[in-house]
Amino acid sequence: MKTKAVLEIIETRMSSVEMNFNNDEWRTSVPSVPGWYFIETNTPPEAFQNVGPPKGQHHYDIPKKVEQSLAMDEYDACILPSTNSFYFVYSGESKNLKARAREHMSGHPKTGCLALYK
């Protein structure tokens, strides 16, 4: 199978869901199936420096990751987003995309996640 054909198959199966912190309606559009996922944002990286430490032991330490990325930028060793552009902040694979999206939004004490709403 040619690379272009593989990419077309992947693109036809991809979908995007906007997570909303004000209501849970977005959750109904996330399927309970296994798959790959990406979390993207257009929030400037510097804005994440003040979100505070993670609440859970396994939660992603967002301020620390920003600090590390900005330190790498001093050596031109990373790619930072353009102003107001979307960029990926996390990617992964899950047996249940709906459950994993919920973990990234609300946090889960036993799994590494962003815990965005915490």
Q: Which of 2, 118, 12, 8 is nearest to 60 (CA)?
A: 118
pLDDT one-digit tens code per residue, 13-53 = 888 888 887 888 888 999 999 999 998 888 888 888 888 88
Residues 53, 66 contacting (CB under 8 angstroms):
no
Return the higher-pLDDT residue of 7 and 118. Answer: 7
For the cut 70, the answer to whether the pLDDT of residue 118 exceeds it is: no
Nearest to 30 by CA among 86, 100, 88, 87: 100
pLDDT digits (tens, 9 = 90+) for 73-98: 888 777 777 777 888 888 899 999 99
Cβ neighbours around 60 below 10 Å, total: 17
Q: Return the pLDDT at 30.
A: 92
Task: Look at residue 115 in the predicted model and tell me its pLDDT.
Answer: 79
Q: How much of the chain exceeds pLDDT 90, in percent?
A: 14
